[in-house]
Structure 1
Amino acid sequence: MEQINKIALVTGGSRGLGKDMALRLAEKGLDVILTYNSQADDAQNVVAQIQQSGQKAATLQLNTGDIKSFVSFASQLQGVLQHTFEATHFDFLVNNAGIGGYAPIADVTEDMFDELLNIHFKGVYFLTQKMLPLMNNGGGIVNVSSGLTRIAVPGSSAYASMKGATEILTRYQAKELGARGIRANVIAPGAVLTDFGGGHLRNDEQLKQYISNVTALGRPGVAEDIGGVVPFLCTEDARWVNGQRIEVSGGMQL
């Protein structure tokens, strides 16, 4: 199988969407390195699940909002690639790590804005930059955006603005890295029932009903609805998909 030795790096892979992405990548025959910010035990459990499926896996701590830590992370990653995977490079970077942040424009503080900026845009920009020397030609980048870049939901202005910036960055990555055969695409999940943003959607029955009403498939999403799109983008099946935004929302507000 041609994918057997391909390696994917998934940020924020210890739970939620990132966990499902990591598990689905392994199902498709890719080896996986996943990062976590604080949930070390959860991350190790995902690694164990991947190893049970017959693929190699490892985990590293990373705060994607701490841009100054990326040089040392790159060095640690090189060690993991060598010792666990007998490799010097990896193939696919999935920029998934993120936090929620909801407030009306009038109430957004500079601290909140900066935290969202660092994690969702600046971190994605510079982590990708630092990873490029460690990526194989012919690989790919998958950035994770949000349905909120297309549908304006009051209270999400700062978060959605960072995701919008990442969508534009994705097109530039596709353009500039094309000479190396590296594709860059963005997936935009719709409303998903996870603990993201403190379970913002999962804990609000009224919001869940509203989402169901405006979604063509009639319900909010779950993590398992999203993860499978990522391994598709990391296989030869998607070799001609580049610079695209793929919304995975069940048809929200069509």
Structure 2
Amino acid sequence: MSTSSSSSLGIALITGGSRGLGKSAAIHLGKRGWDVVITYAQRADAAQETVAEVEKAGRKAVALQLNTGEVGSFKAFAETFRAALRETFGRENFDALVNNAGNSSNVPFLETTEQEFDSLMNVHLKGVFFLTQVLVPLLTDGGRIINISSGLARFYTPGKTTYATMKGGVEVFSRYLAKELGPRGIRVNSLAPGAIATDFSNGTVRDNPQVNAFVAANTALGRVGQPEDIGGAVAALLSSEMGWVSGERIEASGGMFL
């Protein structure tokens, strides 16, 4: 682990930080002066690449394994996380939670199976709900939570009924949580990316020229979003300058489908 040369702005836990939006968020936060803990499901090597990027910015970083769809593992994870806080940062608590980890599907409503539904629900809604529940006791008063939603909770794309339904639930959850945790000074918001060029959904937006062109043509700013667009938005939303923003849905889509 690297030794930071100046005081940290805080410690942020980002689920799904080994790639895509989570990796970009971790790097942006590291560059702004945050220490970072990321989780990964399987790719320990990719997670260590994120850790290295944060350390390159002069901050401390740790990668912990977690399947965010397995609620039964969350209490043990909280203890592992608590131990990492003590050992690496010399603290008993942390300052920001970014519920980012996710999977995808592209199945029409009439073809959606219960197994497909449950797979998405466990990661995107049930997992977010109960992981947050088990981690909030470790979150400092005045802390921050960002739940990653999706532009698909506002606009329609074929095959995304189940995924969008879960993200709609996350947005309602975020508003309720903002109210319930408000007495502790904890801010809670949902951040809704548009179509981003990552390996999500098998890299369709990034790698399919037709899809890429369609998204760009239907986006006010005239291009597909990049991971850096969302990483920067996460860092901005966690900043003290956004300290009066809570209970909000903030879309970072470049103006898709206006």
TM-score by length of structure 1 reads: 0.98
Counterparts of 1:129 and 1:206, CA distance in 2:
41
CA distance in 1, matches of 2:214, 2:55: 40
Matched positions, count: 254
Match of 1:216 in 2: 220
Moved over 4 A (4+): none
Gaps of 5+ in 1: none
Aligned residue in 1 for 2:14 = 10
Alpha-carbon deviation of 1:200?
2.4
Aligned partner of 2:101 in structure 1 is 97
Say whether the 8 Å CA contact 1:11–1:18 is kept in structure 2.
yes
Q: 1:68-107 counterparts in 2 under 5 A?
A: 68-107=72-111
Partner SS for 2:207: coil
What is the CA distance between 1:52 and its match in structure 2? 1.9
* Stretch deviating more after TM superposition (42-51 or 114-123): 42-51
Would you say the 8 A contact 1:37–1:62 is kept in 2?
Answer: yes
User: Which amino acid is 2:166 matched to?
Assistant: M
Deviations, residues 130-149 of structure 1 (Å, cap 9, x unaligned)? 00111100011000000000
Q: What does residue 153 of structure 2 align with?
A: 149
- Which residue type is aligned with residue 253 of structure 2? S
Over the aligned positions, Cα root-mean-square deviation in angstroms equals 1.3
Of the candidates 168, 181, 184, which is equivalent to residue 180 of structure 1?
A: 184
**Contact 1:3/1:235, CA 8 A, preserved across alignment:** no
Q: Hey, what's the Cα distance between the residues in 2 that align with 1:225 and 1:3?
A: 26
Aligned to 1:233: 237
What does residue 195 of structure 1 align with? 199
Match of residue 121 from structure 1: 125
* Greater mean deviation of Cα atoms: 167-176 or 226-235: 226-235
- What secondary structure, in the 3-state scheme, does the structure 2 residue paired with 1:33 have? strand
Aligned equivalents of 1:164 and 1:41: distance in 2?
A: 33
TM-score, structure 2 as length reference: 0.96
Query: Which stretch of structure 1 is more off in the superposition, 202-211 or 28-37?
Result: 202-211
User: CA offset at residue 234 of structure 1?
Assistant: 1.4
Pairwise CA distance, 1:153: 1.0
* Cα distance between partner residues in 1 of 2:9 and 2:199: 32
Task: Look up the match of 2:135.
Answer: 131
- Residue identity in the other structure for 2:251: E
- Give me the whole-angstrom Cα distance separating, in 2, the residues matched to 1:222 and 1:11: 19
The range that moved more, 124-133 or 212-221, is: 212-221
Consecutive unaligned residues of structure 2, counting only runs of 5 or more, are none
After superposition, give the CA deviation of every residue in 1:63-116 in whole Å (9 maximum; x if it has no partner).
000000000000100110000010000010000000111111111111111000
Write the letter of the residue equivalent to 1:250: G
**Cα distance per residue 1:128-170 (max 9 Å; x no partner):** 0000111100011000000000001111000000000000000
Q: Which one-letter code corresponds to 2:255 in the other structure?
A: G
| 1:3/1:157 CA distance change after superposition, 3 Å | farther
Pick closer, same or farther for the CA change 1:118–1:237 going to 2, 3 Å: same
Q: Alpha-carbon deviation of 1:2? A: 10
Tell me if 1:33 matches 2:33. Answer: no
For 2:127, the aligned partner's letter is G
Distance 2:150 2:57 in 1: 30
